[in-house]
Amino acid sequence: MNSFGRLFRIHIFGESHGESVGISIDGCPAGLPLKVEDFLTDIERRKGGTQKGTTPRQESDLPIFKSGIFNDTTTGAPITILFENNNTRSGDYQKQRAVPRPGHADFVAHQKFGGYEDYRGGGHFSGRLTVALVAAGVIAKKLLAYSGVEVVANILEIGGESDLEKGLQKAIDAKDSIGGIVECRVNGLPAGLGEPFFDSAESLISHAVFAIPAVRGIEFGTGFAAARMFGSGHNDAIADMSGRTATNHAGGVVGGISNGNGLVFRIAIKPTSSTPKIQQTLNWETGETESFSVKGRHDLCIALRVPVVLEAVTAFVLCDLMLAEQKIKRIL
């Protein structure tokens, strides 16, 4: 379903070229101050419009509060936020319906929803919906900040280059799109969050993270490199009574539970499916393979837009876990 969370619960809806996209957040404690201004920085970060490599499509993207906020403060009731879709050119997509775009959800959406799906610009599968995630993330991060927890994500590499300009230039030179790696770090997280087995901190975070389009992998702490280490090298020795460890190969989670050290994880972002290169795909009507070339406005490197979305979904999960452990009060 399009919901996530147990105590801090979000519900997402909308389509790329429909009227609007939006999100409703249930379980946010009452008493959190909240204004449109709080959202602007993160919404701007997501746009990536001024960065080389990101799409020129520019929504005004002002959050429209529909419920749950009164006198610039959360009320404890569900908070619903809409973003209108003003800047859509559906004609770009409609004529290409018979040609499912490689790497996109066009084919699977058609299989799953029997042809009734809104196919314009990816419809409900569109990255456009991440603006709603970002809005919920603003609230979640503000709530966490209240308890001394800070969530920060950064791009580690683009196309294998830690010099991001260089990585992007690769794509520009190749007239192709390119992928990247994004890292998230959380400071100030108390020990004890998460459950053994199914609701481990990693389980919940990865669940939320794979909701972000284009994510292909996640690793915590040393991650895949741990598979090549010896145990004596990987184990983090506890250094003091607070649980601080000298090294942090665990990335802040042991046995599924936060251990009070910094939470660290990384995600892999695939290259944007809409590459400027000519590709082969199937025409459903003719049943023939044909050449396909993306029109419309698209990012060369979608990873550039991901950090703020990654912060958002991570923050949801942490709010939920903090509420469950009573580390955030129900009324602020």
* 175 contacts: CB under 8 Å, gap ≥ 6: 276, 277
Q: How far is the CB of 206 from its own copies (least distance, A)?
A: 4
Residue in 184, 186, 208, 312 binding its own copies, rule: CB under 8 A: 208
DSSP line for 98-155: TSPPTTSSHHHHHHHHTT-S--GGGGGGSGGGHHHHHHHHHHHHHHHHHTT-EEEEEE
| Residue 59 in the binding site for its own copies (CB under 8 A) | no
Q: How far is the CB of 57 from its own copies (least distance, A)?
A: 18
- Closest to its own copies by CB, 50 or 232: 232
Chain centre to alpha carbon of residue 305? 9
Q: Which is nearest to 109 in space by CA: 98, 97, 119?
A: 119
Residues 135-194 that bind its own copies (CB under 8 A): 157, 159-160, 171, 174, 176-181, 191-192
* 1 contacts: CB under 8 Å, gap ≥ 6: none
Count residues binding its own copies (CB under 8 A): 146
| Residue 243 in the binding site for its own copies (CB under 8 A) | yes
Residue in 48, 53, 100, 137 binding its own copies, rule: CB under 8 A: 100
| Residue 236 in the binding site for its own copies (CB under 8 A) | yes
* 221 contacts: CB under 8 Å, gap ≥ 6: 248, 249, 250, 251, 252, 253, 264, 265
| Residue 113 in the binding site for its own copies (CB under 8 A) | yes
Which 8-state DSSP code applies to residue 262?
Answer: P
| Residue 222 in the binding site for its own copies (CB under 8 A) | yes
Q: What is the SS3 assignment for 248? A: coil
Stretch that binds its own copies, among 39-47, 53-61, 121-129, 140-148 (CB under 8 A): 121-129
Contact letters for its own copies, residues 259-298 (x by CB under 8 A)? xx-------xxxxxxxx-x-xxxx-x--x-x---------
